Chain A
């Protein structure tokens, strides 16, 4: 479920300045007081790379982080719509369940790791291991992704508008990857497949929601060849 909240009136906005306050104070509000507070929008000032900003939110709320976040921002998110007006560290939106996390800058490693649902948009580049072990999340990256992205990705879609690094989709399960730029190399059992009408429509929808104006027809589809699903006793250490 995505929440779209446009109510920005001061009465329903709560601001947390992490310069004097703590991440714990912010997260305790989000976890325990938010639901009954009537607050529809939370603004986080001076994040200064702090870890675990707005993790574990379980309520529809719009959260704006004004600056660069640290590790695990928006982790385990359910229902909330979080926008980071800056870059983020490792593990943004890790294990996200639903809702949306948008990063205006770049994301460090393991963005969207193990995510089950929702949409993660990274407008800049994502570093190595983007979408590692993703389990149903949709990830749209405006730039490129680093090596080992979508390693053992189980379900969901990863859309990369730029280039992909080495070993893309290594040991892929049922997640599907779409890459507009150059793929440096595919990982074991990942293969390029033709784009079907459903792929075009799906990528088009994700790009529209991400606010990125690319032609879905420019993307390549990468999916699992499913050769690693069963043990092959004759493989002779080939993998």
Chain B
């Protein structure tokens, strides 16, 4: 199993309540994936060339001051670091390739979880409800969130193998299921210079779809190509800066249900995850069909 968690706020007045509305979905889906959890939250957009990076440290009490000082020393730039325990969000003017390379070279124990202008990523091991408390998920605000509770089958239980997986900028994916041909996908992408960070099957799907979009595909076209090339079982929930997308493979043996109202689009693996939402009893409730595209714009 694994639990899929998604929420897109349509009514801007509810954006400050994104975390408060989402966290009970995550709590309820913890039964489907009690080992680790994570989410990507899409926030207000940074201006100009600014980028933000979610960075994970191996220990909760990590001393981030050295990182910040050396970063500013190296890049000679304004940089702000907002720390929550073993996670930090770095805001600066530097491009992703440079930040990732430098971080890896000088702070090898740190892991850059995401890059972009709107995305923040948190992921960790432990019970999802504890993780939600650890990072105060209830306080999150933003336009949409893509979350996951993991029951591992394809790779070890570690923070970097928890979902969401990211690639490129402002792009993330969570997955319930297993990809059968991740190494075939991986070999194909590695030939094109795409670097993998884990041995996880979901990372292959994430990098494949992001690669298609970088090659010019729309999200919809990338997903259609995914139906042809990604072999296996999946419910995918994908977040970009402007879209939330949900798809299931042809066999559709991994569940999902959607509740849509004038205020929100909420997605969970099972209805019990959505039962607490305001107005859910009058929501348009439906299950996504196999190999159909469900894409909502922010």
Contacts and interface: CB of A to CB of B under 8 A. Distances in A.
Nearest to A68: B271
Given A108-B255, A109-B255, A147-B290, A89 B285 contact: no
B285 A87 contact: yes
Interface residues of B, number: 16
A48 B274 CA distance: 8
A70 B252 contact: no
A50 B271 CA distance: 8
Nearest to A47: B275
Interface in A95-151: 106, 108-109, 127-128, 146-147
Which secondary structure dominates where chain B touches chain A?
loop
A70 B290 contact: no
Given A68-B275, A90-B255, A49 B270 contact: yes
B270 A70 contact: yes
B190 interface: no
Question: Which bracket fits the contact residues of A?
Answer: 10 to 19
B272 A128 contact: no
Interface string B260-294: 00000000001111111000010001010110000
Contacts of B257: 108
Most B Cβ at <10 Å: residue of A50, A68, A106, A146: A68
A67 B289 CA distance: 23
Contact of A70 (B271, B276, B287): B271
A128 B290 contact: yes
Given A108-B255, A109-B255, A89 B270 contact: yes
Q: Please provide the 10 A-B residue pairs with the shortest distance between their CB atoms, ordered closest to farther.
A: A49-B272, A49-B271, A48-B275, A49-B275, A68-B271, A70-B272, A128-B252, A127-B287, A48-B272, A89-B270
8 contacts: A48-B271, A49-B271, A50-B272, A51-B272, A68-B271, A68-B285, A70-B270, A109-B255
Interface of B: 252-253, 255, 257, 270-276, 281, 285, 287, 289-290
